[in-house]
Structure 1
Amino acid sequence: MKKWVVTAKRADFKAIGEKYHIDQVTARLIRNRDVVGDEAIREYLYGTIDDLHDPEQMKGIVAASELILQKIRENARIRIIGDYDIDGVTSTYILYTGLKKCKAAVDYEIPDRIRDGYGINRQLVQAAWEDGIDTILTCDNGISALEQIAYAKELGMTVIVTDHHELRTREENGEIHVLIPDAEVVVNPHQPDCPYPYKELCGGAVAYKLVQELYRMAGFPAQEIEELIEYAAIATVGDVMKLTGENRILVKEGLKRLNQTQNIGLKALIRANGLDGKEINSYHIGFVLGPCINASGRLTTAKKALELLLCRDTQRADVLAEELLMLNSERKELTRKGYEEAVEQIESTSLKEDKVLIVYLPDCHESIAGIIAGRIRERYYRPVFVLTNGEKSVKGSGRSIEGYSMFEEMQKCDELFLNYGGHPMAAGCSLEKENIQPLREQLNRNANLTEEDLMEKVCIDVPMPIGYITEHLIEELNVLEPFGTANKKPVFAEKDVQILGARILGQNRNVVKMQVADSSGTVMDALYFGDVEVFRTYLEKKYGDTEVEKLFQNRKTGITLSVIYYPTVNEFRGQRTIQIVISDYQ
C-alpha cells in the first residue's frame, strides 16, 4: 500500500506564470522542485551553455591544465586511469580525446571489476611504472586512494586526481580532518576550500571542465569543447546525478548534441537498440543506452564500451554495439533469475518479517547485486542488502529508503565488515560468511523504522482535473525536461474518475486501455501499463466480478478510481487526441 501525499509548497503562481509566460500549473511544478528566485527560474527555463560556470573557479583546474601542457611539451607519457561504470568510461573518453587533441602521448587503463575492484590500485600503479609512464591522471576515482597515490609518488611518478566523490575524513582528538591524497594536483569540487559554486558534478562533468580549461590554454576556439558535452550528459544521467543547476544544462545541451551525434560507436549503439530516427532523451540514456555501456564493465571488461566510443570503423562499431546489447540481455536475464530467487527466499522464510532485508544469493554475479537490491527495495519498500560470494569473501550491495541512512547504520556494525562504503541511499560492503546472520540481527535490532516509514510515499505535484489538460499545457511541460533525479517527471492526480469502459491490449496483454470521465463530463482515453491481472483483481475485490465483466464489455458501471497520471498527445492517422497515462490507482 502506498501513501499519496500532495506537495504543497507556496508561492505566487499567478505572478510567476505571468512573468515567465507559463501556465500556473507549470509555475507550481517549478516551485515543487525548489527552483526559487528570478535567476534560478530563468536558468531552469532558458539556461544555455553560456550559463555554465567558468572552470577556473574549480580548485586545481588551472594547475592541472598547466601541468598537463608542460608534460605534453616534455613528451612525457601520461596514463588515464578510469573506472568500469558509465561515468568512468565516459570520463576516460573525454580526457583521452581532449589530451589526444592537445598532442599528448597518452593511453588509458580501466580497472577490472572482479580482479581489481574500484579505482586505482597498487598493481595498476606498478604496471604504469613498468610501462614507463611519467604521469597518472585519474578520473571518477582517486580521491580515496591515499596509499596507492603515495606509492606512485614513491616510484617517482606525477599524479593528477580528478574525481567527484566525497572526501575521506579522520577524527583526531574530537576534530574531523579531511584526508586528501598527496597528488601534485587534486581537482574535485568537494574539496572543503574549493570555491566552485556547483558541487553535484559527476566524474565526466569534472573531466569536461578540465578539458575545457586545457583547450582554452592551448588556444583552441571556445566552441571546440562542445563536441564533448554529449559524453558529460551521458555520464551525468548514467551516474544518477541530480538534474539541477549546471547538471540540467549539461544534460539539456548534451542531448541536443547526442541527437545529432557524429560518434560512430554511439550511432551503432542507438541503431542496435532500435532508436534510430527517434528523439533520444534522458530516459533512453538511463534505461536503454546506459545499461549497455555499464553491462560491459559488469560482465566482461569496460574497455569494450570505451573501444565502442573510440571506434572509427562502422562495421567494427556494429559488432561491438551488438556485443554490448547481448551482454545487457545476459545481465537482464541474470537479474531476473536473481530477483526471483530473492523473492522466493523472502517469502518462504522469516526474512519477510524483517524491517531491513539481508538476502544471501551465493551464486549471484556480484556486479548485479545492487540492481537486484534496487528491485527488491521497490517491491517491499524496505532497506535491502543483497550479498553474494566474491573471490575472497562475501560481497554485497545495499539500496535504502527515505528515512534510513544506510551508511550511518553500517557504521554501527563496523566490526562485522571487512570493508564498506556508501551514502544514505546506497552502499557496498564485504564481510566473512559467518557474519551474515549477526549482520541481519544487528541491523534489525538497531532499525528504528515505523510502519509509517515503511509505507512508500507518492508525492503528487498537482491535483488536476483531466478537463484542465490542453495540448498547449502538454507542450509546455516539455520545458521541464530533462527528467531525472531531483527533477522528476511531474505527478498529476484526480479523485473519483469514472471508468466508462476498458479493454486489454498488447501482444502480451499487458496494457489496459480505458475511457474515463471526470465530474465536469470531460471524456478521454487512458492507458495503464502496470500488472493487468493485479489491476483486474483489485477492481473485482472492490466492485465484484459482475461489474468488472460489464466494464470490459464497455457497458455502464458504477466503477470509479482515483488516479495518478501524466498527460500525453496520441497521434493516429493524422488525428491528435489528448490522453492520460495512469501510473497508479486507488
Structure 2
Amino acid sequence: MEKWVLRNKKADFEAIMKRHGISECLARLLVNRGLTEEMDIDLYLNPDYQNTYSPYTMKDLTKACKILEDKIDSSLPIRIVGDYDVDGVSSTYILYKALTLCGARVDYEIPDRIKDGYGINEHIIDGAYEAGIDTIITCDNGIAALEQVKKAKRLGMTVIVTDHHDIPFVMEEEKRYLLPEADAVVNPKQEECPYPFKQLCGAAVAYKLMEVLYKSRQIGEAELVPLREVVAIATVCDVMELTGENRILVKKGLELLRKTKNQGLRALMEKNGIAVENLSSYHLGFVIGPCLNAGGRLDTAKKGLRLLLSESKEEADKRAEELKGLNDLRKQMTEEGILKAVSMIESSALKEDRVLVVYLQDCHESLAGIIAGRIREKYNKPAIVLTSAHEMVKGSGRSIEKYNMYEELTASGKYLVKFGGHPMAAGMSLAFESVEPFRISLNNNTTLTEEDLIPKVVIDVVLPLGLITEELIEEIKILEPFGKGNEKPLFADRSLKVIKLAVIGKNKNVIKLLVRNQYGKEMDALYFGDTEGFLEALSDAYGQNEVDRAFQNRDNKLKLSLTYYPSVNEYNGSRSLQIIIQNYLPEK
C-alpha cells in the first residue's frame, strides 16, 4: 500500500520563469525543493566552489592546521587513522595526499572491519606509540573515541580528531555532549561550532582542513582538484543530503571526475564500462563506491586506498580488476543474505514488528548494512541486521525518515556494548543473550505509527505525456546531481490505457508497455522493478484474461495511473521519448 501525494507549493512561478529564463515545469520543481528566494535559486542553478563556506569558521580548524604545520616543520611523524568505508578511505586519501605534498612525514592506518571494528582503538594507539608516532590525526571517526584519545594523550601523543558523526551524549537534566580530550576536534556538528553547514561527510571535513593548510603553505588551488574529486565520491557514497554546500561539492566534483587524471579512478570506470562523459551521481553511489568499499568488506580497505594512490596504468588496472572481482563476489553474497532475511521475517512474528531486527548468524558481518538497507526498502521499516563476530554479535542498521536510529539506540543502549552512527544509519555490537531483549526494547519503546510505515510517494508535477519533450528532459538535467535531499523529480499521468505489454531483457526482468493517455498521446513505458508483482497487480485488478490480451497486442481493459521519469531512448541512431515507471496503480 502506498500513499500518493501531490506537492502543491505556491509561489510566483511567472516571476521565477522570467527572472531565470526557465520553463514553468522547472520553476515548479525548484519551488518544490524549497527554493523561492532569488539568491537561493541562483546558487542552485549556478553552483560554484566560490559559494562554499569559509573553512576558517569551523571550530578548531585553524588550531589543527597550526599543530600540523609545527609537526611538518619539526619533521615529526604523523599517522592518519581512517575508516574502512568509502568516506573513510576518501578522507585518508585526502589527508595522506595533501600532507605528503606539504612535506610531512606521514603514514596511515585503517582499522580492519572484522578484527578491529569501527574507528580508532587501543590496538592502533599501541601500534602508533611503538612506531614512535608523534601525532595521530583521525578522519571520519574519533568523535566517540573518548577512552582511546585519553590513552594516546597519556602516552604523550598529540591527537587531532576530524569527524562528521553525531556527537555522543548522555541524558541528565538535559543532553550533555561528550567530546574527546584531543588537542583539536574538528567536527561541524559540535554545538559551539559556528560553521553554517552541518551535513558535510568526513572527507569534506578533511578537505576543509587541507584547504587551509594549502593556503598557509602557499600551495596553488590547482592542487586541490584531486582532493575535490574524491570529496564528491564520498559525499554521495555516505548518503549525505545533496543540498547546500554538498550540492556544490558533488556537482562540481562530477565535472572534475569526467576529466580526472587519477589513474585508479580511470581504471575503475573502464573496468565497469562507465562512459566518463556520462558520469553521474548514480555511478558514484552504485558502481565506483561499492568497488572501493569491497576491499574493506571482504579483504582490507587499504586496497581501495592503494587504487586511489596508483601511479601507473598497469598498477591501477590490476587493482581495479581486483576490486571489481571482490565487488562481484560481494553482490552474490548480499543476494543470498537478503533471501535468508526475507524468509526469516515472512515465516515468523518478526513481520509484525515496527523495527525489524534480524539475526543472520552466518552472514559476513561486512554485508549487514547493505542487507539492512534492502530490508528497509522492502518493508519501509527501520531494519537492523545482526551477525556473529568473535564471540560477539555485531550489526548494522538503516532507518526511515520518521525514526532517528541513533537516538533510539541510545534509549536501548543498556543492551549494547558499543554503538554509533547517524539518525539514518548506525553500527552496534552486543552480547548474544542481548539480541532478543534488544529487539523487544526497540519495539516496545518506538513511537512509530502505522501511518509512519506507509510509504509516501510524493509527486512533483502532474505532466501529461503530450507535454514531454527532449528540451524539457535536457532542462531537468540542470537539477542533477540527484541523491538524498535532491531526489529525481517525480511526474505523473493518470488513466493510461495499455495498448501493448511485453516482458523483455536478458533475465526477463523488464516490463515494456505502450500506453496511451486520455488525449490520445502514445508512448513507450519501461518498468525495472518487481516484474512478477507488477503482472500480479494487473491480474488481480482485471483478471488474467485481460493481461493475456495485452500481451497479444489485442484490445483490453487495462488502465494505469503512473508516476514516472522521462527519458530519451537512443537505438540504432534513432531517438524516441519514453517514460521510466517508478510507481503504478491499476485503475478499476
Q: 1:278 to 1:555 in 2, by over 3 A?
A: farther
TM-score w.r.t. length of structure 1:
0.96
CA contact (8 A) 2:496 2:560 kept: yes
Alignment of 1:62-211 (within 5 A): 62-172=62-172, 174-211=173-210
Which range moved further: 241-250 or 179-188? 179-188
Alignment of 1:225-374 (within 5 A): 225-374=224-373
SS in 1 for 2:190: coil
Match of 1:45 in 2: 45
Match of 1:423 in 2: 422
Which range moved further: 156-165 or 220-229? 220-229
1:53-93 CA deviation, whole Å, 9 max, x = no partner? Answer: 22222222222222212211111111111111100101111
Matched AA of 2:102: C
Alignment of 1:376-395 (within 5 A): 376-395=375-394
- Matches of 1:305 and 1:218, distance apart in 2: 29
Which range moved further: 294-303 or 29-38? 29-38
Alignment of 1:474-489 (within 5 A): 474-489=473-488
- Matches of 2:282 and 2:187, distance apart in 1: 28
Matched AA of 1:399: R
SS in 2 for 1:296: helix
Give the drift of 1:242: 0.6
- Matches of 2:126 and 2:20, distance apart in 1: 58
Give the drift of 1:417: 2.2
CA contact (8 A) 2:226 2:262 kept: no
- Count of residue correspondences: 585
- Matches of 2:405 and 2:479, distance apart in 1: 31
CA contact (8 A) 2:82 2:138 kept: yes
Which range moved further: 435-444 or 519-528? 435-444
Match of 2:17 in 1: 17
Match of 2:217 in 1: 218
- Matches of 1:412 and 1:152, distance apart in 2: 30
- Matches of 1:235 and 1:454, distance apart in 2: 30
Give the drift of 1:224: 2.6
Give the drift of 1:171: 4.4
- Matches of 1:191 and 1:409, distance apart in 2: 20
Which range moved further: 411-420 or 266-275? 411-420
CA contact (8 A) 2:161 2:184 kept: yes
Tell me the C-alpha RMSD between the 2 structures: 1.6
Q: 1:352 to 1:207 in 2, by over 3 A?
A: same
SS in 2 for 1:453: helix
Q: 1:465 to 1:331 in 2, by over 3 A?
A: same
Q: 1:333 to 1:495 in 2, by over 3 A?
A: same
SS in 1 for 2:116: coil
Q: 1:25 to 1:436 in 2, by over 3 A?
A: same
- Matches of 2:411 and 2:54, distance apart in 1: 41
Give the drift of 1:277: 4.4
Match of 2:26 in 1: 26
SS in 1 for 2:304: helix
Which range moved further: 176-185 or 46-55? 176-185
Q: 1:409 to 1:154 in 2, by over 3 A?
A: closer
Q: 1:552 to 1:343 in 2, by over 3 A?
A: same
Q: 1:122 to 1:61 in 2, by over 3 A?
A: same
- Matches of 1:156 and 1:506, distance apart in 2: 62
CA contact (8 A) 2:269 2:276 kept: no
Matched AA of 1:21: G
SS in 2 for 1:150: helix
Q: 1:30 to 1:467 in 2, by over 3 A?
A: same
Give the drift of 1:575: 2.5
The sequence identity of aligned pairs, in percent, is 54
- Matches of 2:162 and 2:395, distance apart in 1: 27
- Matches of 1:82 and 1:329, distance apart in 2: 25
1:419-445 CA deviation, whole Å, 9 max, x = no partner? Answer: 233333322222222222223333333
Match of 2:555 in 1: 556
Matched AA of 2:296: G
Matched AA of 2:158: T
SS in 2 for 1:430: strand
1:479-520 CA deviation, whole Å, 9 max, x = no partner? Answer: 100000100011111111111112222111222222111112
- Matches of 1:63 and 1:357, distance apart in 2: 44
- Matches of 1:410 and 1:183, distance apart in 2: 26
Match of 2:565 in 1: 566
Q: 1:63 to 1:281 in 2, by over 3 A?
A: same
Q: 1:392 to 1:539 in 2, by over 3 A?
A: same
TM-score w.r.t. length of structure 2:
0.96
1:277-303 CA deviation, whole Å, 9 max, x = no partner? Answer: 451110001001101111111111101
1:366-411 CA deviation, whole Å, 9 max, x = no partner? Answer: 1111111111122222222211111131122222223233333333
Match of 1:438 in 2: 437
Give the drift of 1:257: 1.0
Give the drift of 1:187: 1.5
1:204-258 CA deviation, whole Å, 9 max, x = no partner? Answer: 1111111111111111223331232100101101111010111101101111111
Q: 1:186 to 1:442 in 2, by over 3 A?
A: closer
Matched AA of 2:37: G
Matched AA of 2:138: T
Q: 1:215 to 1:179 in 2, by over 3 A?
A: same
Match of 2:510 in 1: 511
Q: 1:298 to 1:181 in 2, by over 3 A?
A: same
Matched AA of 1:168: P
Give the drift of 1:274: 1.4
1:14-61 CA deviation, whole Å, 9 max, x = no partner? Answer: 221221111121111112222231111111111112112222222222
SS in 1 for 2:482: coil
